[in-house]
Structure 1
Amino acid sequence: MITTLRLVAVGALCCHLPAWADPMLPSVLIHNARDSDLGLADSASAGSVSRQQLEARTVYRPGELLEAAPGVLVTQHSGEGKANQFFLRGFNLDHGTDLRSTVDDMPVNQRSHAHGQGWTDLNFLIPELAARLDYKKGPYSAREGDFASAGSVAVTYANRLARAISSVSAGHGGYRRAMTAASPEAFGGNLLYALELLHKDGPFTRPEDYRKANAVLRYSRGFANNGFSVAAIAYRGRWNASDQVPQRAVDAGAIGRFDTIDPSDGGQAQRYSLSGTWRRTVADSASKVNAFVIRNRTELYSNFTYFLNDPVNGDQFAQPDRRVTSGLNATHTWHLHGGLRSTDLTAGLQLQNDNIFNGLHNTRERRRLSVIREDHVVEGSAGMFAEAATQWSGMLRTTAGVRSDHYRFKVASDRRENSGSARDHLLSPSLSIAFAPRAGAELYFNVGAGFHSNDARGTTATVDPASGGPADRSPGLVRSRGIEAGLRLEPAAGLHTSVAVYRLAFDSELAYLGDAGATEAGLPSVRHGVEWSNYYKPVKWLSVDLDLAYAHARSRGAAAGEHFIAGAVEGVGQLGVTVDWRGPWSGSANLRYAGPRPLVEDNSVRTGGSTTLNGRIGYRVNNRLRLELEGFNLLDRRDAAIAYFYASRLQGESEARGDLHFHPLEPRSFRLAAIMQW
């Protein structure tokens, strides 16, 4: 069950473009989603977040920018550098499964990753460049494919900045950050560049020593609906992990909350991409083509069970993963008009190929002891869709679509028995209906089918690489089915509210366990719930919004009393207010709540909720310089950022013990930034 309470203060919602936005974007794309989504969104749970709203958020790490989408919870179980943990609609999405994430139409989810299916590392994201964030929930759009069953989030970078920016910031835990970005005119277009350098130790006994460098170089010409852009993005990060710790060791005083059992855990990551986008729009049609090549490299060293499997060397394991992902997205829309009825008919093609080398090794202090498995995976997919958006009258519009996906998995394993190839395909229809009975109100009904892909290695495996015992092959694609009804209202000036009730079912919750090198077959599941979002702007200088959601998550076909889904959060919430006077001062506060949840299938072990209050105070010295003070966990709560229940063994213990393992919420901290614009 998941309850989402989100109230994000969104200040500075002025009618002019923010300093970060691309002035060449058409007004339909830069509208403030909180002004009105009536007549634009296909469901009550879809929308856009403007640059102004994103800028108002106080985020501890880049991935938390996705929390601007109502109902999304982002946290971390291993400190900085590693991909975040995500929660949405009763899903513990692990590191990204079933939440499709893209940046400039490039996929962020990594298929058949060494650590987890759909690995979503957003540490390359520079928040200041984000011009817009679009989100959808449920499998109701033919445009979205793999990993989009719970939802999808798309971040779009600006092509041009209205003003150049440089900032330096420092704070607790060795936090240091410098960033600069500008977009001067060059070669008949605009050349956007950005550079970010960051270091952070955190509150941990062994400093995380997280060091990262981000760079963006982008050339664009023309307009958002008629033009092109070419972009290169680079990211490098290195860190020491602050993995979860066993509650029994903390209670006994053997370690502190911010200690670690294996201080040699950590990792490094690299991401380099080259992409290009071309758009052309005329009176009766619109075309868009996007192509990309991404090179990712990840190396993780983890130890979650300590001395459970190897009492001498410990249980640390390495998960190296390197890949090249290439792809093409193309759409063409015909604008058809006939009398009072108009239709936009869109055809699309999405191609992706992943050439992957990954493995799983036993290690001690990052030195290899033995190989559990090593694989070369080639995974290719082709997705085709057709979608018809029809305005039948001033009161009724529909969007009907169908999607066809074809996958090919090819695995060359160090075990011949686990090598081979497999294919799978699915057809996914969807329908959205919007009915406006009167001005300021809209009703929605959505139904559709979606899917997520499984790890390619599970589709060909016949032997468990860790135990040597037999293993069952898994299907390549797993079907999801969703249905939703919603309502959006604007009952008064400055007040917007929406309600969505949904049900989402999966045929199976198969998952590849990167920590064990095997595929685990899960039972079918069903989730249903309700979401309620509100936004209120009573005066120009004050904005408040509140989002509430509840979801009930259960397995189907489980033994009596064992149908709970571990990690399904029962409450998530955010509450915030932003004030932006016309004078030099501004500020915001954001209260986030993550509720209790079961940690085992019989609900006998649960974890409590956590509450964090973040805030920001800004002072504009002059037209070019402003100072900002950000505070995190201002209530200094000693909560867990995330918790699990499993068996582990500490050094000196004679046998394994089931225990709660948690990653602590970072204590109260502050960051001071100086921001220069010109």
Structure 2
Amino acid sequence: MALAILSALAQPAWSAEVAEPVEAVIILGSRNSQIGIADAASAGVVTQQQLEARTVYRPGELLEATPGLIVSQHSGEGKANQFYLRGINLDHGTDLRTTIDGMLVNQRTHAHGQGWTDVNFLIPELATRLEYSKGPFEAKQGDFASAGSVNVLYANRLTQGIVSAGIGQNGYVRTLLADSPKLGNGNLLYALELFHNDGPFVHGDDYRKVNGVLRYSEGNDTDGFNLSLMAYKARWNATDQIPQRAIDTGLLANRFDAIDPTDGGSAHRYSLSGAWQKTTDTTATKINAYLVSSQLDLYSNFTYFLDNPVNGDQFNQPDKRITTAINASHSWKTPLMGRPSENTIGMQIQNDNIRNGLYSTKSRQRLSTTRADHIVESSLGFYAENVTQWNDKFRSVAGIREDFYRDQVTSNLAENSNTVSAHVPSPKLSLVFGPWQKTEYYVNLGRGFHSNDARGATIAVNPRDPAARATRESALVLSRGLEVGVRTEAIPGLQTSLSLYRLDLDSELLFQGDAGTTQDSGRPSRRIGFEFSNYYKPANWLTIDADLAFAQARYRNFDPVGAHIPGAIEGVASLALAIDHLGRYFGGLQLRYFGPRPLIEDNSVRSNSTITLNGRIGYKINPAMRVELEGYNLSNRKDAAIDYAYVSRLPGEPADGVFDKHFHPIESRSFRINLIANF
């Protein structure tokens, strides 16, 4: 109904003259004002200068520019990161919708985890800005956006060419070459990255990455087009999480040792994408389409010798897919009841042709097949949104989207082959009041969802025991969000936002150590929390980011095992200082606090807190060349990057295993030096 109403309004109330295209302006300011722009206190934009000031150990940590977001790792560097936001252990990306250059990174019905978000192909130097929003409040954000969304935008044109070379401890080597020379009526941007890192592990990661981008573009971000080719290929070894008792008994040499040193994997991602946009005084049309071919071959062992005391519990999860997608939107301005108003309608289509499976292995050699599947997952989403400025102190944003899914699973077990369909409507409403004295107030309500693994929606029997019946999951899981917030710039140089939120999920996805994947708990949950974000520029040479977030996460139904949600993040804090314009010197510090979390439902086992301190200092040799020294975990803390509690079995232990805390350590103190030249 909403789509029909807005489509009827598509004829503008007045004829508009077509605006002449203008050259895009790259804003280099540290942070743009969001007063009068953002629709929520928890939404914002991080500029290119802010992104450049961050010290990141791995590409995924660039996303931590989003206040309250934690990016971690529990395995080898080539594996998708672990994400935490708004009281949720997001596993490898579920409930955090992530797009890079307009392409959805989250992968549906993935072999290892629903919403698998591998951002290792991200090249930070190409990122021009990062847009984030929290909660299910934006009509254009569909699957996986319950906790929030992050969008990284790549440049069409570089202001200068870049040559970068870096070396460091633990086998770190990185080189980058990028430029965007003129070609015809546009620019041809190219980038090539070569990377290697071992990390501090006894059995080094030996992470090898080749990464490239080739893009032709004409025009700018509002009027123009681009065509892009991207290619990423990597191999690595993995030191997965280890049991605490292996350290206590001396079975492992140190916290960087491994139970199964043959874990690891390989991955590639190749994409062809294009985007076109046209803007006039009263209309804006955007279209982007992409084709992605990706493959992962992952080997893991989390329970060691619990299921197979002879050959061990290593398993292989291959995933090979072709993803095609097209997104289109059209906006137009037209009065509503005599007030300035803008309407947007959009469509999102995606199809995934997937082949994946689960195999028992020893030292990466297959022993048996647990399951093998061919999945075709298709979705169609429509959305409509209206923004109306009712008076100079009040505007509303009302939206609705409808998503349709069709999952077709062909399994090696005929009983698990089936086709299911589902659809879900998602209404949204945001009310914005102000500004008064450079202060705005927000009320946001919305419903969202994430898709479940299609294999869980069609399963009939347990593939490990075909005589046992299995419980099917819903194809789509609903979420409901409520948020109130305030944003102020009343104090010169200081931008502050505070949001209070509630987020309900119809069911939880939890990590299962013995299966090496996530499983629907079937229990509804609720999270209540706040986020407090501050950006302060007291002087031309100093900027300060200070963020604090806290969440209480509980199951909403009674169960004697307990109401706490394992792995649910509680307290997060960060403090970042960036220094520049001090002659030839520049630098920064980043302090991050990742608080304790319950590891089992009754809260009797909890993780410890994790604190990291990273920093860098740089010197500008001349206007075109600089050198940087980056340091990670400067205080050399022996904290864990992630913790789990489950049953595993080491050699010689009882057949039913031992319940223990398992952890993956943060990297020890290390340094890297980089030489960067512009041309």
Same fold (TM > 0.5): yes
1:530 aligned partner: 530
Residue 229 of structure 1 aligns with which residue?
226
Q: Residue 67 of structure 1: which of 61, 64, 87 is its match? A: 64
C-alpha distance in 1 between matches for 2:435 and 2:211 = 49
For the 8 Å contact 1:523–1:558, the answer to whether it is kept is no
Q: Is the 8 A contact 2:437 2:490 kept in 1?
A: no
Q: Partner residue of 2:491?
A: 492
The equivalent residue for 2:11 is none
Q: Where does residue 413 of structure 1 map in the other structure?
A: 411
How far is 1:654 from its partner?
Answer: 2.7
Which residue is equivalent to 1:505? 504
**1:661 maps to amino acid:** H
Unpaired segments ≥5 residues, structure 1? 1-22
Q: Secondary structure at the match of 1:598?
A: coil
State the partner residue of 2:472.
473
> For 1:313-324, what aligned pairs fall within 5 Å after superposition?
313-324=311-322
Matches within 5 A, 1:54-203: 54-203=51-200
Counterpart of 1:361 (choices 353, 359, 362) is: 359
Contact 1:279–1:286 (CA under 8 A) maintained in structure 2: yes
2: CA distance, partners of 1:517 / 1:87: 17
1:25 Cα deviation from its structure 2 partner: 3.2
Cα RMSD over matched residues? 1.5
Shift of 1:439: 2.8
Give the drift of 1:339.
Answer: 8.8
CA distance in 1, matches of 2:529, 2:204: 41
The residue number in structure 1 matching 2:375 is 377
Q: Which residue of 2 aligns with 1:671?
A: 672
The counterpart of 1:218, out of the listed 206, 215, 218, is 215
**Partner residue in 2 for 1:575:** 575
Does the CA contact (< 8 Å) of 1:511 and 1:522 recur in 2?
no
Q: Which amino acid aligns with 1:533?
A: S
Task: Give the share of equivalent positions with the same residue, in percent.
Answer: 56
CA contact (8 A) 2:204 2:237 kept: yes
1:304-343 pair list within 5 angstroms: 304-337=302-335, 341-343=339-341
Q: Does 1:394 align with 2:392?
A: yes
The residue number in structure 1 matching 2:14 is none
TM-score normalized by structure 1?
Answer: 0.95
Report the Cα offset of residue 417 of structure 1: 0.2
Residues 288-303 of structure 1 aligned to structure 2 (within 5 Å): 288-303=286-301
Corresponding residue number in structure 1 for 2:615: 615
Contact 1:373/1:517 (CA < 8 Å) preserved in 2? no
Instruction: Tell me the secondary structure at the aligned position of residue 74 of structure 2.
Output: coil
Distance 1:355 1:338, change over 3 A: closer
* TM-score calculated relative to the size of structure 2: 0.94
Shift of 1:33: 7.2
Identify the residue that residue 275 of structure 1 maps to in structure 2.
Answer: 273
Which of 234, 248, 252 in structure 2 is aligned with 1:251? 248
Contact 1:512-1:520 at 8 Å conserved across structures: no
Q: 1:226/1:464 Cα in 2 relative to 1: closer, same or farther (>3 Å)?
A: same
User: 1:171-230 CA distances to partner (integer Å, 9 max, x unpaired)?
Assistant: 010000000100000021000000000000111111110000100000000121111000
SS, match of residue 159 in structure 1: coil
Is 1:208 the counterpart of 2:205 in the alignment? yes
CA contact (8 A) 2:352 2:376 kept: yes
SS in 2 for 1:48: strand
Match of 1:19 in 2: none
Counterparts in 2 of 1:575 and 1:64: CA distance versus 1, 3 Å: same
CA contact under 8 A between 2:317 and 2:359: conserved in structure 1? yes
Aligned residue for 2:663, secondary structure, equals strand
CA distance, structure 2, for counterparts of residue 664 and residue 613 of structure 1: 15
CA distance in 2, matches of 1:668, 1:223: 42
Matched residue, 2:43: 46
Structure 1 residue matching 2:462: 3-state secondary structure: coil
**1:651 has 2:651 as partner:** yes
Give the structure 2 partner of residue 661 of structure 1: 662
Aligned to 1:546: 546
Q: Deviations over 1:417-474 (max 9, x none)?
A: 0001000000000000110051311000000000000001111110011233101221
CA shift in 2, pair 1:528/1:64, >3 Å: same
Deviation at 1:32, TM superposition (A): 4.7
**One-letter amino acid matched to 1:456:** A
The separation in 1 between residues aligned to 2:266 and 2:45, in whole angstroms, is 33
How many pairs align? 654
Work out whether residues 544 and 577 of structure 2, in 8 Å CA contact, stay in contact via their aligned partners in 1. yes
1:651 is displaced (CA, Å) by 1.3
Which protein, 1 or 2, shows the higher relative CO under an 8 Å CA cutoff with sep ≥ 6? 1
Q: Match of 1:11?
A: none
Alignment check: 8 A CA contact 2:61 2:71 kept = yes
Letter in 2 for 1:478: V
1:435 to 424, 433, 436: 433
Q: Which segments of 5 or more consecutive residues in structure 2 lack a partner in the other structure?
A: 1-21
C-alpha displacement of 1:35: 3.9
Query: Distance between the aligned counterparts of 1:24 and 1:201, measured in 2?
Result: 44
3-state SS, counterpart of residue 81 of structure 1: coil
Tell me, in whole angstroms, the C-alpha distance in 2 between the residues paired with 1:522 and 1:339. 46
Distance across 2 between alignment mates of 1:274 and 1:472? 39
Report the residue type matching 1:359 in the other structure: G
Q: In 2 relative to 1, CA 517–86 (structure 1 residues): closer, same or farther, beyond 3 Å?
A: closer
| Per-residue Cα deviation, 1:98-157 (whole angstroms, up to 9, x for no partner) | 000001110100000000000000000000000010000000011000000001000000
For residue 488 of structure 1, report the CA deviation from its aligned partner.
Answer: 0.7
- By how many angstroms is 1:569 displaced? 1.8
Secondary structure in structure 2 of the residue aligned to 1:616:
strand
**Equivalent pair of 1:465/1:518 in contact (CA under 8 Å):** no
Q: Please report how far the alpha carbon of residue 246 of structure 1 lies from its aligned counterpart in structure 2 after TM superposition.
A: 0.8
Deviation per CA, 1:217-261: give whole Å up to 9, x if none.
000001211110000110001000110111001011111101000
SS of alignment partner, residue 63 of structure 2: helix
1:582 Cα offset (Å): 4.1
SS state at 2:35 partner: coil
Q: Which amino acid aligns with 1:546?
A: A
C-alpha distance in 2, partners of 1:179/1:661?
A: 36
Q: Mark the CA change 1:492 to 1:132 in structure 2 (over 3 Å): closer, same or farther.
A: same
